[in-house]
Amino acid sequence: MHRRVVVTGMGAMTAIGNSVKAFWEGLLQGKNGVGPITHFDPAQFSTRFAAEVKNFSFDGILDVRESNRMDRYTQMAMVAAHEALQDSGMDLEKIDHDMAGVVVGSGIGGIQSFETEHGKYIEKGPRRVSPYFVPQMISDIAAGQISIRYGLKGPNYATVSACATASHAIGDAARLIKYGDADIMVTGGSEAPITPMGLAGFCSMKALSSRNEEPGKASRPFDRERDGFVMGEGAGILVLEELEHARKRGANIYAEIRGIGFTADAHHVTAPAPGGEGAVRAMRRSAEDGKLNLNEVDYINAHGTSTPYNDKNETAAIKALFGDHAYKMNISSTKSMIGHLLGAAGAVELIVSVLAIKHNIIPPTINYEFPDPECDLNYTPNVPQERRVRNAISNTFGFGGHNACILVSKFE
């Protein structure tokens, strides 16, 4: 039996909005979430700005004791999961808890907790390290905490694949439903990497933009003047359901998860394969899995990190796969507004793709000022564009050569 998978709930925590509604409105306004780092003093770093979540609150969702035992990445995942489940309209008293699971990943996990406890160890010795250190730090604990909070007893684990983490989580969750292991999956990713060590590592790699004098213009995907990505933080959580399960309870259906494409570059630890060859195969596999002709894709939410090589390679991959149709699609990188959420990127960007389908509006790529002759597609520059969106692909490509593409379609 062919089981179809639909999206029935969504929750988001980003630098431009702490709910899906606020996030979407911010995207359409071209709101910029990038600014000076406030989590710590960044004076000695070569990059001193990021896309931080503002006014983060877990009131009514976590009490102080619970929150003190969680890393920031888990706190944000819990808040986004709460919103997604509320949005789904699901009565958790009436579901089969054995058929409801969680796959939520984090690329880096509890780095803030690691730094804090390591500081205690250096200053005061091993006896002062918190007994909660390990379960605060590990990358699977957000999935575990969501499962515990809501009594979801089906498949429960995390994926870790750098910037492709959340897309791998969502793809796995969809397949668990498709293959009959679950009827409901809570899935996505969360990341809180804006810490001294997190920033230091990326600065040393020279992967980040260093536009300290005008941070609001630093994240500029596909623009000729791009000079590196901007670190972001946040969470994106989706509720996926088997179609008949959703129909029986009268759920609001946003869109259908149609196809999944996972590949590897097998090339280099950080650089993409030449010409985006691995990305080509991942996008093609997502369309083949969804039994969709390539010319039926209307929108690509690009990985679009604002690094010189990534944007050029992703553009080349899109042109190599889609041919002339590449110029007829809309493409945008919402990282221009919220920065790069690393392991959470695929989840918030799939939420964008779903909303583009629901509202028939393409959010823009902001800070697009100077065309790059090697990046010559329609990146929806600076202002949103209305068009019918039937099918969209969300692209995520991670260090290690991990490629994950999710095809989402209007529900029919």
Both tokens assigned to 314: 């992703």
Q: What is the DSSP string of 282-321?
A: HHHHHHHHTT--GGG--EEE----S-HHHHHHHHHHHHHH
Clarify whether 2 is annotated catalytic: no
Q: Which of 163, 203, 375, 405 is catalytic?
A: 163
Strands in 158-311 per DSSP E: 184-191, 234-242, 255-264, 299-301
Give the C-alpha separation, 210 to 228, whole Å.
Answer: 8
Neighbouring residues of 34: CB distance < 8 A, sequence distance ≥ 6:
15, 49, 50, 51, 215, 216, 218, 219, 230, 337, 339
Residue 395 token pair: 């692209």
**Which H or E run contains 280?**
helix 277-289
- 90: closest CA among 215, 245, 204, 236? 245
* Known catalytic residue at 340: yes
Cα radius of gyration rounded to whole Å, the chain: 20
Catalytic residue among 82, 245, 303, 402: 303
Nearest to 224 by CA among 355, 136, 312: 312
Does 82 qualify as catalytic in the annotation?
A: no
Q: Residue 211 is encoded by which pair of tokens?
A: 């536009």
Please state, in angstroms and as integers, the Cα–Cα distance from residue 96 to each residue in 24, 153, 157, 243, 250, following that order.
Answer: 32, 9, 19, 15, 16
Number of C-beta neighbours around residue 149 at 10 A = 16
Choosing from 82, 168, 245, 340, the catalytic residue is 340
Three-class SS of residue 107?
coil
Nearest Cα to 25, choosing from 9, 34, 12?
Answer: 12
- Pairing mode, if any, of strands 391-398 and 299-301? parallel
Which residues partner with 393 through β-bridges?
Answer: 300, 407
Q: How far is CA 15 from CA 101, 142, 217, in A?
A: 28, 20, 15
Classify 110 as helix, strand or coil: coil
The residues carrying an active-site annotation are 163, 303, 340
